[in-house]
Amino acid sequence: MLMRRAQPTMPELYEMWMRVWSKMNAMENSPRFFGVETPLFLSEIHTIQAIGKTPENNVKIIAEIMGVTPSAASQVITKLTKRGLVRKIREVRNQREVSLELTDQGRIAYDNHEEIHAQTFARIVKRIGTLSEDERATVGRVFFAFESVYDELIEECMQITARKTASLMEA
């Protein structure tokens, strides 16, 4: 474990965030078992978590929770449905609207994942101790800033790609 200065600079905080992000990406590429027959990628188990925690849901709501496009959420949900972990239910009042629920196997994966989260949070709290309200607010501001800047960067990249694609189509 690397030792850190007590008061890291903003560039050092950003480097720490990027290391965490890289490690989370490494975990994303390594499927894990959550008490069901097939291993799940983090995007899949986190989709299961979002569905399990949000009783009144649909693909759009799950996409918002996950911070992905509805198309991306739909692809993961379709995989989970085919694997028997999620069930799509047509709404009675609007047949076009589909809500999502976990199957028994999906609930097992959800419960196991919740236990892993509890253990992870306990390990984190053990390392940092209890944070004051002000400290949590500061950490929240930092994470919000990172997320909002990356939202902007994603939008800028999409706009650049759309412009370049359009100019290639014209040529």
Q: Is 60 within 8 Å of 70 (Cβ atoms)? A: yes
Residues in the chain: 171
Assigned CATH for 11-130: 1.10.10.10
Structural domain boundaries of the chain?
Answer: 11-130, 131-171
What residues contact 90, with CB distance under 8 A and at least 6 apart?
A: 97, 98
Mean pLDDT to the nearest integer, 8-13: 87
pLDDT at 40 over 90: yes
pLDDT value, residue 38: 92
Output the pTM of the full model. 0.74
Nearest CA among 58, 54, 61 for reference residue 98: 58
pLDDT value, residue 146: 87
pLDDT at 13 over 90: no
> What are the two backbone dihedrals, phi and then psi, of residue 99, each rounded to the nearest 5 degrees?
-105, 165
pLDDT value, residue 55: 86
Q: What is the DSSP string of 82-107?
A: HTTSEEEEE-SS-TT-EEEEE-HHHH
What are the tens digits of pLDDT across the range 63-115? 999 989 999 999 999 999 999 999 999 876 666 778 999 999 999 999 999 99
What residues contact 66, with CB distance under 8 A and at least 6 apart?
A: 43, 46, 47, 50, 72, 73
Distance (Å, rounded) from C-alpha 163 to C-alpha 155?
12
Q: Looking at mean pLDDT, say which of 2-16, 107-121, 124-138, 154-168 comes out highest.
A: 107-121
Q: Is 57 within 8 Å of 100 (Cβ atoms)? A: yes
What are the tens digits of pLDDT across the range 106-152? 999 999 999 999 999 999 999 989 889 999 999 899 889 988 998 89
